[in-house]
Chain A
Amino acid sequence: SQQGEEDPQALSIQEGENATMNCSYKTSINNLQWYRQNSGRGLVHLILIRSNEREKHSGRLRVTLDTSKKSSSLLITASRAADTASYFCALDYNQGGKLIFGQGTELSVKP
């Protein structure tokens, strides 16, 4: 399957703590993206990391990519209650631009 596997499935933390979620895949990718989805809404693009990159930052987000292990992690630092959402990794296998989504991590940040 080309679908990414994410863990944990669910994560509950307190405001101010860091949240880390992981995504693993099986075959070579062109790039890996992370998206956020609030309940019942569309998805919002967070960050993209290309296969030749190892780490990227965007505000409180830090993404790493290890192509040898075929895995990526998303770190959200100093979490806020507003970060409560589902987070999905999405894999671009260079197949016409389509993205294959992982199973998602449901993050709950308690105030």
Chain B
Amino acid sequence: GAVVSQHPSWVICKSGTSVKIECRSLDFQATTMFWYRQFPKQSLMLMATSNEGSKATYEQGVEKDKFLINHASLTLSTLTVTSAHPEDSSFYICSARDRDRGFHTGELFFGEGSRLTVL
């Protein structure tokens, strides 16, 4: 149980294009999802908190117009990197909290990540 599916697992795009990454909770409902970014050999940096049915909350320094987050249902959140540039190349990881268990367990369930390369 508690599987989070992230798609695509890797994507290569040209500079200036937009890329959408999907994060789905397959066997639980997630009112809250979190998007992280990870550069090679570094830690995960929280980008934003995605709340179902409301606007995402962005961390300081993260451009909300650059990284569009939509959490349209209890099982799906999307991250769109708009007008991507080479410096946006990174490993993007989503995570979700089980609406029914997460409050008590506190743990997050992670997707397998999406590696974005912008040429």
Contact = CB atoms under 8 A, between A and B. Distances in A.
Contact of B115 (A40, A50, A97, A99): A40
Most buried by B among A30, A31, A42, A104: A42
A48 interface: yes
Contacts of A99: 34, 46, 95, 108
A96 B43 CA distance: 21
A36 B46 CA distance: 17
A25 interface: no
Contacts of A41: 112-113
Contacts of A67: none
Contacts of B102: 97
A3 to B, nearest CB: 7
A33 B106 contact: yes
Given A96-B32, A102-B43, A103-B43, A42 B111 contact: yes
A-B pairs, 4 with minimum CB distance? A42-B110, A43-B110, A42-B112, A45-B107
